[in-house]
Amino acid sequence: MTRRKPPWFKNLCPAGVNPARLIARKCETCHEWVAVDTGGPIEEKYDPGILDGDDLVAAIILGIRFTRIQPISGTGLITLRTPCGERGISPNGKYLAEHRCFRAPISLKPYKPAKPATPQQWTDGPQLSEEDINRFEIAWRRPL
Binder to Zn ion among 10, 30, 40, 90 (CB under 5 A)? Answer: 30
- Coil, strand, or helix at residue 89? coil
DSSP 50: E
Q: Phi/psi of residue 95, each to 5°?
A: -135, 160
CA-nearest of 8, 55, 64 to 35 is: 8
Judged by CB under 5 A, does residue 23 bind Zn ion? no
Which range in 3-11, 29-37, 80-88, 110-118 contacts Zn ion by CB under 5 A?
29-37
Handedness of CA 109, 17, 26, 96 (dihedral sign): negative
Region binding Zn ion by CB under 5 A among candidate stretches 49-57, 61-69, 96-104, 122-130:
96-104
- Interface with Zn ion, residue 101, by CB under 5 A: yes
Q: Which is nearer to Zn ion, 68 or 99 (CB)?
A: 99
**Whether the Cβ atoms of residue 37 and residue 43 lie closer than 8 Å to each other:** yes
Q: For strands 22-26 and 66-71, give the pairing.
A: unpaired
Q: Measured between alpha carbons, how far apart are the two ends of the chain, in Å? A: 84
Q: Does residue 26 bind Zn ion (CB under 5 A)?
A: no
Kindly indicate which of the ranges 51-59, 87-95, 100-108, 131-139 contains the residues binding Zn ion, using the contact rule CB under 5 A: 100-108
Closer to Zn ion by Cβ: residue 29 or 90: 29
In whole angstroms, how close is the CB of 83 to Zn ion at the nearest point?
Answer: 23
Site for Zn ion, rule CB under 5 A: 27, 29-30, 101
